[in-house]
Amino acid sequence: MEFKELICERRSIRGYASAIGHDDLVAVLRMAQQAPSWKNQQASRCYAVETPELLEDLRSCALPVFNRNSSANAALIVTTFVKDEVGFSGGEPVNEVANGWGAYDLGLHSAYLILAARSLGYDTLIMGIRDADVIREKLSIPDNEEIMSVIAIGKRSADPSVRPRKDLNEVVRFF
C-alpha cells in the first residue's frame, strides 16, 4: 500500500467485529517503537489489554457509554508517558514546555501505532475521554506515569465517517 493511501485510509473507527490477534498486536507495538523521541529516551508506555474479562471490566468502568460502545469487541491499549524525564535535565524542565514534551513524544508514538495498525489491516480509535483514576487502579499504573489515551484496535465492522480538514491556509503560514 502506498504511504499516501495509508494515511488517507486511516480513520477513527467506531465499530469493531473483532480484536487484533496477539502476534499482530506485538508487531504493531514494535513498529510504534520506531517513533522518534526526545534524546531517544522512549518514555512512552503502553498497557495492552487482550483478555476478554479485563476488557469488559475496563470498558464498563473506565469509558463513557459512547466510547464503550465504539470500542466493543476491540482490544485496548492504554498509553502513558513517564513524567519529569523527557524535556528535563537535572530534575528541572529545560524549557517552558516541561512535561508537554513527554506528551509530544507519546503523540508521535501513537501516530506511528495507528498507522502501523492500518498497514496490517487493522483500525483504531484514540479515546481521550476516559477515567484515568480507574485505569490506574485496574492496571496498577505507577503514579509517575501520566495516563493519556485508550486506543481501541481491531477489525472494523463500521464504515468511517470522513471528517473534513481545515483549509491549509487556516493552519499553516508560509514565510
**Residues linked to residue 80 through DSSP beta bridges, in sequence order:** 45, 147
Closer of 29 and 130 to ligand FMN (Cβ): 130
Closer of 1 and 174 to ligand FMN (Cβ): 1
Q: How far is the CB of 1 from ligand FMN (least distance, A)?
A: 17
Q: How far is the CB of 165 from ligand FMN (least distance, A)?
A: 8
Q: Which position's Cβ is nearest ligand FMN?
A: 128
**Crossing angle (nearest 10°) for helices 132-139 and 52-62:** 150
Could you tell me the three cell numbers for 24? 499482530
Q: How far is the CB of 24 from ligand FMN (least distance, A)?
A: 21
Q: How far is the CB of 126 from ligand FMN (least distance, A)?
A: 4
Closer of 8 and 94 to ligand FMN (Cβ): 8
Binding site for ligand FMN (CB under 6 A): 11-12, 14, 67, 70, 125-129, 149, 160, 163
Closer of 8 and 26 to ligand FMN (Cβ): 8
Q: How far is the CB of 147 from ligand FMN (least distance, A)?
A: 12
Closer of 21 and 72 to ligand FMN (Cβ): 72
Q: How far is the CB of 9 from ligand FMN (least distance, A)?
A: 10
User: How far, CA to CA in Å, does 168 sit from each of 105, 115, 171, 174?
Assistant: 24, 22, 5, 10
Closer of 21 and 136 to ligand FMN (Cβ): 136
Q: Are 76 and 59 in contact (CB under 8 A)?
A: yes
